[in-house]
């Protein structure tokens, strides 16, 4: 079981967005916490909500049960709100804050393992900080077990010198947790009900309280302001980049590469500086991405090259190339061996295998077949001011430069559309379509134009 504390407004964030919903590497902090909790196979997870309850519940959906802390009276009071759901349950309850996005499932598993091995009633996740100001101190007994936790404002000078701090993550015997919470008072500097007081109560009853000290001090970060949010972002980004590099991805400059938490990348892919991979993006093996490329919620196959381009909700098949300076908007779907070149925009359109759109073109609301060549400056005219219409181009067609295809329209297999044409009628298979004015040359007329211009200039002077 797990209780996630997510009721705080986070006034120091100075934001309309509730604290636990602030993203770290593309995912709300409480989402990272739920991920870690789920990986240790918590059978039931209760999220305690307060400020922004509806927004938090909307984001988490069916991933958790919810308890409301209508008035924020401290961490002990917050945990107590879960009593109606978990009272009477037997086993271990993990208590964790929703603003600690860097806590890992591996550390939680080690915490729980120590808790079981020591037959403890409570086990605390701790860390040692060179500068522990602001954190509750973990005071150990002579035998190394935990004697008590003292909040910063209640510390004596001797207690303030202790460097081991409470991270706010715990394992408890569920029944003993709620029994001890009934004895917690608010007789302290903050006049709040501290969850940490449960430790002293259990010790007074002769219970065993243990602590597991994590080696990763980043896991101790609770995000309360934008400075801490920035630090969490930096540490998470380093962690993500390291994981991908250990899995066979080359990142030329990790300091200039941004990869969000849910991105997947195949081995032997190279990420150039300025690459930004967001959302649920998947990149296959042996690709070269970047420099200065942003890909969001997209799928990229194997052996793909994407340079200085933007992709959103797009699909790129294997052995294709995109860019530089291309824009693949939502619904863009490229087959295999497709080339999309510089200053090309694709929107809600599919391009089948071996098709090329090399320069300065817009393809929107279209279905393009195999082995099609679309020339420089060609566009599908898909919007009449009221409705979007579809253009269909068959296999092996050739679309010349500066062609306007006025949708809805079909261009058949093997058809040829002459450069500079504006096509308003369907073109059947293997037909040639030309739709432009016949060229007329007027001998000597250029000299007349220059003479008129010269005469006008002389009159005006």
pLDDT digits (tens, 9 = 90+) for 239-279: 999 999 999 999 999 999 999 999 999 999 999 999 999 99
Instruction: Please give the pLDDT value at position 411.
Output: 98
Instruction: Please give the pLDDT value at position 365.
Output: 98
What is the mean predicted confidence (pLDDT) over 39-56? 93
CB atoms within 10 A of CB 168: 21
Residues 167 and 313 in one domain: no
Instruction: Please give the pLDDT value at position 135.
Output: 85
What is the mean predicted confidence (pLDDT) over 388-394? 97
What is the mean predicted confidence (pLDDT) over 117-124? 95
Residues 354 and 394 in one domain: yes
Instruction: Please give the pLDDT value at position 147.
Output: 86
Residue 452 lies in a domain: no
Residues 13 and 158 in one domain: yes
Closest CA to 150 of 135, 161, 163: 135
Residues 365 and 399 in one domain: yes
Number of structural domains the chain divides into: 2
Instruction: Please give the pLDDT value at position 267.
Output: 98
Average pLDDT in the chain: 94
**Per-residue pLDDT tens digits for 333-386:** 999 999 999 999 999 999 999 999 999 999 999 999 999 999 999 999 999 999
Residue 441 lies in a domain: no
The yes-or-no answer on residue 359 being catalytic is yes
Residue 248 lies in a domain: yes
What is the mean predicted confidence (pLDDT) over 1-29? 94
Residues 28 and 145 in one domain: yes
Residues 154 and 248 in one domain: no
Query: From the DSSP assignment, how many helices (H) and strands (E) are in the chain?
Result: 10, 39
pLDDT at 134 over 90: no
Instruction: Please give the pLDDT value at position 62.
Output: 95
Annotated catalytic residue within 187, 359, 425, 426 = 359
Q: Which residues are annotated as a binding site?
A: 5-8, 19, 69, 74-75, 99, 136, 151, 166, 224, 329, 347, 362, 373, 382-383, 401, 419, 436
Among the candidates 220, 235, 264, a domain finishes at 220
Instruction: Please give the pLDDT value at position 397.
Output: 98
Task: Let me know: does 204 contact 121? Beta carbons within 8 Å.
Answer: no
**Per-residue pLDDT tens digits for 277-290:** 999 999 999 999 99
Residues 364 and 296 in one domain: yes
The CATH number assigned to the domain holding 318 equals 2.160.10.10
Residue 187 lies in a domain: yes
Contact partners, residue 222, CB within 8 Å, separation at least 6: 97, 99, 100, 167, 168, 228
Q: Which residues are annotated as a binding site for UDP-N-acetyl-alpha-D-glucosamine?
A: 5-8, 19, 69, 74-75, 136, 151, 166, 224, 329, 347, 362, 373
Residue 55 lies in a domain: yes
Q: Which residues are annotated as a binding site for acetyl-CoA?
A: 382-383, 401, 419, 436
Confidence of residue 458 (pLDDT cuts 50, 70, 90): confident
Strand ranges, E, within 42-178: 45-49, 65-68, 92-97, 122-128, 137-140, 146-150, 164-173
Residues 214 and 249 in one domain: no
CB atoms within 10 A of CB 385: 4
Residues 183 and 37 in one domain: yes
Residues 202 and 262 in one domain: no
Residue 454 lies in a domain: no
Residue 451 lies in a domain: no
Residue 31 lies in a domain: yes
Residues 112 and 215 in one domain: yes
Q: Give the phi and the psi of residue 389 in degrees, each rounded to 5.
A: -125, 160
What is the mean predicted confidence (pLDDT) over 298-302? 98
What is the mean predicted confidence (pLDDT) over 185-200? 86
Instruction: Please give the pLDDT value at position 52.
Output: 86
The CATH number assigned to the domain holding 184 equals 3.90.550.10
User: Which SS3 state, helix, strand or coil, does residue 230 take?
Assistant: helix
Domain range for 120 is 2-220
**Per-residue pLDDT tens digits for 301-344:** 999 999 999 999 999 999 999 999 999 999 999 999 999 999 99
Contact partners, residue 237, CB within 8 Å, separation at least 6: 25, 258, 259
Confidence of residue 117 (pLDDT cuts 50, 70, 90): very high
Residues 346 and 269 in one domain: yes
pLDDT at 409 over 80: yes
């Amino acid at each position: 079981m797990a209780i996630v504390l997510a009721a705080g407004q986070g006034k120091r964030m100075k934001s309309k967005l509730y604290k636990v919903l602030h993203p770290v590497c593309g995912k709300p902090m409480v989402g990272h916490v739920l991920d870690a909790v789920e990986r240790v196979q918590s059978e039931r997870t209760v999220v305690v909500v307060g400020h922004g309850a509806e927004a938090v519940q909307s984001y988490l959906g069916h991933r958790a049960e919810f308890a409301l802390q209508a008035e924020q009276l401290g961490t002990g009071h917050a945990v107590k709100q879960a009593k109606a759901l978990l009272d009477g349950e037997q086993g271990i309850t993990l208590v964790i804050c929703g603003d600690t996005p860097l806590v890992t499932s591996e550390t939680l598993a080690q915490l729980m393992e120590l808790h079981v091995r020591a037959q403890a009633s409570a086990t605390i996740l701790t860390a040692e900080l060179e500068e522990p100001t602001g954190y509750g101190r973990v005071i150990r007994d002579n035998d190394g077990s935990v004697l008590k936790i003292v909040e910063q404002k209640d510390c004596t000078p001797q207690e303030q010198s202790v460097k081991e701090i409470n991270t706010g993550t715990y394992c408890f015997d569920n029944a003993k947790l709620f029994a001890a919470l009934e004895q917690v008072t608010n007789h302290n500097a903050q006049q709040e009900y501290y969850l940490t007081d449960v430790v002293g109560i259990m010790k007074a009853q002769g219970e065993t309280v243990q602590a597991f000290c994590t080696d990763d001090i980043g896991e101790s970060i609770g995000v309360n302001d934008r400075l801490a949010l920035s630090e969490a972002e930096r540490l998470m980004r380093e962690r993500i980049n390291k994981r991908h590099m250990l899995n066979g991805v080359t990142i030329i400059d990790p300091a200039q590469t941004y990869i969000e938490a849910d991105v997947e990348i195949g081995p032997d892919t190279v990420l150039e500086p300025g690459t930004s991979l967001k959302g649920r993006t998947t990149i296959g093996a042996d690709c070269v991405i970047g420099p200065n490329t942003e890909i969001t919620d997209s799928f990229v196959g194997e052996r793909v090259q994407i340079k200085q381009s933007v992709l959103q909700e797009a699909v790129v098949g294997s052995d294709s190339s995109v860019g530089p300076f291309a824009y693949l908007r939502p619904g863009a779907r490229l087959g295999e061996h497709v080339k999309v070149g510089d200053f090309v925009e694709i929107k809600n359109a599919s391009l089948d295998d071996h098709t090329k759109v090399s320069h300065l073109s817009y393809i929107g609301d279209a279905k393009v077949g195999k082995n099609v060549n679309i020339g420089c400056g060609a566009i599908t005219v898909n919007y009449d001011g009221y409705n979007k219409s579809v253009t269909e181009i068959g296999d092996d067609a050739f679309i010349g430069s500066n062609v306007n295809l006025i949708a809805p329209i079909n261009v058949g297999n093997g058809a040829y559309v002459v450069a500079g044409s504006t096509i308003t009628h369907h073109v059947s298979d293997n037909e040639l379509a030309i739709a432009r004015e016949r060229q007329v040359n007027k001998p000597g007329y250029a000299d007349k134009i220059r003479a008129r211009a010269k005469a006008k200039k002389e009159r005006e002077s």
